[in-house]
């Protein structure tokens, strides 16, 4: 049997698991491993990032977008520590990621050598699997085990490899055991549970369907269940697109990243079918709502809210069982009122988008992205106000995909997500959307997009402030201290990096720039683009609490809220007013 280095064996294991690229920065403690990647460079592409954090975040984004494990690596000491931010994002959002970490050669370990440190404890919290290899022969076996563990636990695996061991030659020709990416068996709901759900649906006056990422592959079933039983649909923010965003029954998300109709309709509900999610803000729903939770993870049942009925089941199988029920519900006034509320909301966002008299609005930029994105576009979202604007307006109604840092919520996710999106889907249009705060954290890796000719469209919404934190300070009546940012000409910076830059300050410039971007794409452009959008610093509407119903909240609270966010009663009446009007019409 021909011998190869253990580093090359690592590459062969990765290739067998359908991994075609990985991210990292080489250094003396991982050089032999990287040389192994070089030996398999025709099948495994090494993406040299400018910061290991970006590589780990991109690996997490790969896993979120494709379902295939993402891989990054770093050297001993600083490189290893830099990986942690991206690894925690993967852990919190439950996606498989592998980190290969260098270590000093075995001969100098435990001698206080340069950059030599005990790294396993560093990864003990973030990684479900974390091992340091002790001889060259076991390296491919441990890497294979690590990948299986990452898929099985939907989490992070870390393999620490002393550099001298990965340079040694071993006998290795692959494994007969096939790679299997499946994680758990799909479980079906019990008949006794379905009988209770059927009874609850028949008795409810204001039922809603609330779905999360666990239901993301059940788009057709979500639509059919919603239409069969007259159910308004909410999604968690990360599950936006589980039902087409332009479907009239879709209300959006509840919470700060949400919408007015999602808040109002869920407040008025008397039954919630809570499917495929462990959404933390469900705990803020009124106590008198009947709550039925469906999840395939036993540990998540009842975790966020004490449920009236918990069902251990795969989301898609559960929805399919609902479609077998021998009854349906004609469109109710509750659903019709919800549809009107959502239509009013969308019209209001369009009104904001079309008004640049006081300067360009974020809504205007989002509308332009919506109008110029393809039906299969990929969106990488950063963390901050940009996430609110994007979730509310991006078109996720056909084959579009997006990814975000959902539970961990790390700034700087947008650009790495765009990088990952273009590598994973090279033939699709890819956008990253960031605020100037998040973009500045990772913008040197625009050079990575330039180096590998990845024509991502990177949108920077510059308002010269940490806007998401600004809102929190306003609510807390605190001084706006420590949130102001120094602006920059991000378009010129992009050009200095070898990319293409456009700076826009109004709708006319935005429209012209979007047209030029279209022309570049049509002509086969291979350079990344930065759209530097100078927007107004306007606090976006907070939809975590929407006091617009005078009968419920009183005149003073309603007037203050409406004045703060410029919502007139004629444009956006309260949901209960719409519902009352519909009910009275029938009398």
Residues with catalytic roles: 52, 114-115, 256, 383, 468-469, 472
Beta carbons within 8 Å of 559's beta carbon, 6+ residues apart? none
Contact 441, 409 (CB under 8 A): no
How far, CA to CA in Å, does 98 sit from each of 63, 576, 585?
A: 10, 50, 60
Contact 29, 53 (CB under 8 A): no
Regarding beta strands 156-162 and 169-171, do their DSSP bridges make them parallel or antiparallel, or are they unpaired? unpaired
Q: Return the axis-axis angle of helices 362-372 and 333-353, rounded to nearest 10°.
A: 100
DSSP codes of every residue in 215-265 = GTT-HHHHHHHHHHTT--EEE-GGGTTSS-TT-TTEEE-SSTTS-HHHHHH
How far, CA to CA in Å, does 503 sit from each of 31, 58, 209, 415, 426?
A: 41, 26, 42, 18, 26
Beta carbons within 8 Å of 2's beta carbon, 6+ residues apart? 171, 173
* Of 404, 217, 241, residue with least CA distance to 320: 217
Longest CA pairwise span in the chain (Å) = 87
How far, CA to CA in Å, does 354 sit from each of 133, 349, 357, 525, 575?
A: 59, 9, 9, 29, 25
- Burial environment of residue 141 by CB neighbours within 10 A (0 to 12, 13 to 18, 19 or more): middle
Distance CA 122, CA 130 (A): 10
Specify the residue for token string 């975040």.
57
How far, CA to CA in Å, does 251 sit from each of 210, 258, 286, 365, 572?
A: 10, 9, 18, 22, 14
Give SS3 for 454: coil
Phi, psi for 113 (deg, rounded to 5):
-80, 165
DSSP codes of every residue in 69-100 = PEEEEE-TTHHHHHTHHHHHHHHHTT--EEEE
Specify the residue for token string 């004045």.
563
Distance CA 14, CA 71 (A): 9
Distance CA 201, CA 290 (A): 10
Distance CA 33, CA 354 (A): 54
Distance CA 101, CA 22 (A): 13
HSE-CB at 122 with a 13 A cutoff on CA atoms is 20
How far, CA to CA in Å, does 230 sit from each of 216, 265, 289, 539?
A: 20, 13, 18, 35
194, containing H or E segment: helix 191-203
Token pair in block for residue 560: 């203050």
């Amino acid at each position: 049997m021909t011998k190869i280095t253990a580093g090359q064996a690592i590459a062969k294991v990765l290739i067998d698991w359908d991994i075609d690229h990985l991210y990292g920065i080489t250094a003396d403690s991982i050089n032999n491993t990287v040389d192994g990647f070089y030996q398999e460079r025709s099948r495994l592409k090494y993406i040299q990032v400018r910061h290991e954090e970006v590589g780990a975040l991109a690996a997490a984004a790969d896993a979120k977008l494709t379902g295939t494990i993402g891989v990054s690596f770093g050297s001993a000491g600083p490189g290893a520590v830099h990986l942690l931010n991206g690894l925690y994002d993967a852990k919190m959002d439950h996606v498989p990621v592998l980190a290969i970490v260098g270590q000093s050669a075995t001969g100098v370990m435990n001698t206080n050598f340069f950059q030599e440190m005990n790294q396993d404890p560093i990864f003990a919290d973030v990684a479900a699997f974390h091992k340091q290899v002790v001889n060259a022969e076991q390296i491919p076996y441990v890497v294979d085990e690590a990948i299986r563990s990452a898929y099985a636990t939907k989490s992070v695996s870390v393999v620490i490899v002393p550099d001298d061991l990965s340079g040694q030659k071993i006998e290795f020709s692959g494994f007969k055991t096939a790679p299997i990416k499946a994680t758990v068996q799909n479980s079906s709901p019990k008949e006794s549970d379905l009988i209770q759900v059927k009874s609850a649906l028949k008795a409810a006056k204001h039922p809603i369907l609330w779905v999360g990422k666990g239901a993301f592959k059940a788009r057709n079933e979500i639509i059919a269940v919603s239409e069969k039983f007259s159910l308004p649909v909410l999604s968690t923010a990360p599950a936006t697109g589980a039902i087409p965003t332009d479907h009239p029954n879709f209300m959006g998300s509840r919470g700060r990243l949400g919408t007015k109709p999602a808040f109002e309709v869920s407040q008025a509900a008397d039954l919630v079918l809570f499917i495929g999610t462990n959404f933390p803000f469900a705990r803020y729903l009124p106590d008198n709502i009947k709550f039925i939770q469906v999840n395939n993870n036993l540990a998540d049942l009842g975790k966020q809210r004490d449920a009236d009925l918990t069902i251990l089941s795969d989301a898609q199988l559960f929805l399919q069982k609902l479609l077998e029920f021998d009854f349906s519900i004609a469109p109710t006034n509750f659903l019709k009122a919800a549809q009107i509320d959502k239509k009013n909301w969308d019209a209001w966002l369009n009104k904001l988008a079309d008004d640049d008299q006081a300067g360009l609005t974020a809504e205007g930029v989002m509308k332009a992205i919506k109008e110029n994105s393809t039906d299969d576009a990929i969106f990488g979202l950063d963390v901050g106000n940009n996430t609110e604007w994007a979730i509310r307006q991006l078109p996720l109604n056909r084959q579009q995909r997006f990814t975000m840092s959902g539970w961990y919520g790390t700034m700087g996710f947008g650009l790495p997500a765009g990088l990952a999106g273009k590598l994973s889907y090279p033939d699709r249009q890819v956008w990253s959307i960031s605020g100037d705060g998040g973009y500045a954290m990772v913008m040197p890796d625009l050079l990575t997009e330039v180096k590998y000719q990845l024509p991502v469209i990177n949108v920077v919404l510059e308002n010269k402030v940490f806007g998401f934190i600004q809102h929190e300070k306003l609510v807390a009546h605190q001084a706006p201290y420590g949130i102001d940012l120094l602006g920059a000409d991000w378009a010129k910076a992009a050009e200095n990096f070898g990319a293409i830059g456009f700076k826009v300050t109004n709708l006319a410039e935005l429209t012209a720039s979007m047209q030029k971007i279209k022309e570049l794409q049509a002509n086969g452009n291979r350079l990344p683009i930065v759209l530097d959008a100078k927007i107004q610093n306007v606090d976006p509407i907070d939809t975590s609490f929407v006091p617009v119903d005078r009968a419920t909240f009183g005149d003073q609270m309603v007037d203050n809220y409406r004045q703060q966010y410029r919502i007139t009663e004629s444009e956006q009446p309260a949901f209960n007013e719409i519902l009352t009007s519909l009910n009275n019409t029938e009398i």
